[in-house]
Structure 1
Amino acid sequence: MFAHIVLAYDGSYSSKKALEKAIEFAKNNNSKLEVVHSLHNRAAIIGEAIFTPSDDYEKDYLEHTQVIIDKLNDELSHIPNAKATLLIGNPVTTILNYAYDISADLVIVGNRGLSDVKEFFLGSVSHNLVQHSRIPVLVIK
């Protein structure tokens, strides 16, 4: 059915549920599974001032994120054709571009359970993946 799956993972409860389903799906369909975590350092904009994280903060954040990727690769080690990868940049853009670059035919993402009103005002990775993807997106609740 789907030969190459990308799972967007952020460490949240819903992404952990999505990981369980993606592993099950990949095993049952003998699919290649790529779990991606997108590292995105945001700048805070207050009025006309832009505040960016310090170099130490960015280094610590990158190291923490690499620990997540290493743990994911350990968890995926018993699954053939599965790996975790760290992406850097806007989550929606980097996840979709990665999926297109590797010719994935399905993106799986967890839903954080935001209400429609909050999702409308804040936007969410899952919502934007569904809206902008050229390939199917499966949202796991």
Structure 2
Amino acid sequence: MYKKILVAMDSSEISQQVFNTAVSLGKQNNSTLMLLHVLTDEEMGLTEIATQHISALEYHAAMVEQVEAYLKEKDLFRQKYLNLLASWAQEAADAGVPAEYTLNYGGPGRTICDLAKNWDADLIMMGRRGLSGFSELLMGSISNYVVHHSPCSVLIVQDKQQKELD
């Protein structure tokens, strides 16, 4: 039924639940997993550097230093997530479920949906941060975006701890 499962991952606790569910479903359906993390400047805490603009020439040297620091930080985050994705892919393979992985940059919702379409996924699996009410209205919800724009079925894994708080 689900031969290609796109699994949206991050470093949150819910991602382990999402991963475990994906491996279980992958075993049942003889599926291949595509593990995805979407890296954003906001996640890296680099939005101030990334969006700052300097207009005067005397700030040129400071700007070069900021850009170099930004690129170094971005590479560290990139490597951290590549290592995490590689370890999850190996864990899935050890459990008998073939898995690939990719690290993309951009807006998470759109990137997840675009990859699902381009990879021809049958299912997207992802967690839910647990935002509700006003905070979801202000910040938006990646899972909500994906549910409304996905080219395939979507399975949202609810955070067990969040359920207990509700």
Scaled to the shorter chain, the TM-score interval is 0.7 to 0.9
Aligned residue pair count? 139
Kept in 1, the 8 Å contact 2:124–2:152? The answer is: yes
Match of 1:99 in 2: 116
Bigger radius of gyration: 2
Q: Which runs of 5+ in 1 are unaligned?
A: none
Identity of aligned residues (%): 30
**What's the RMSD between the two structures over aligned residues?**
2.1
Match of 2:56 in 1: none
Kept in 2, the 8 Å contact 1:15–1:111? The answer is: no
TM-score, reference length from structure 2: 0.74
SS of the aligned residue for 1:21 comes to: helix
Match of 1:50 in 2: 51
Match of 1:11 in 2: 11
TM-score, reference length from structure 1: 0.86
Match of 2:97 in 1: 80
Q: Which runs of 5+ in 2 are unaligned?
A: 53-66, 159-166
Cα pair distance change 1:74/1:81, threshold 3 Å: closer
Kept in 1, the 8 Å contact 2:26–2:97? The answer is: no
Match of 1:71 in 2: 87
Task: List structure 1 segments (4+ residues) > 4 angstroms apart after TM superposition.
Answer: none
* Greater shift in the superposed pair: 89-98 or 3-12: 89-98
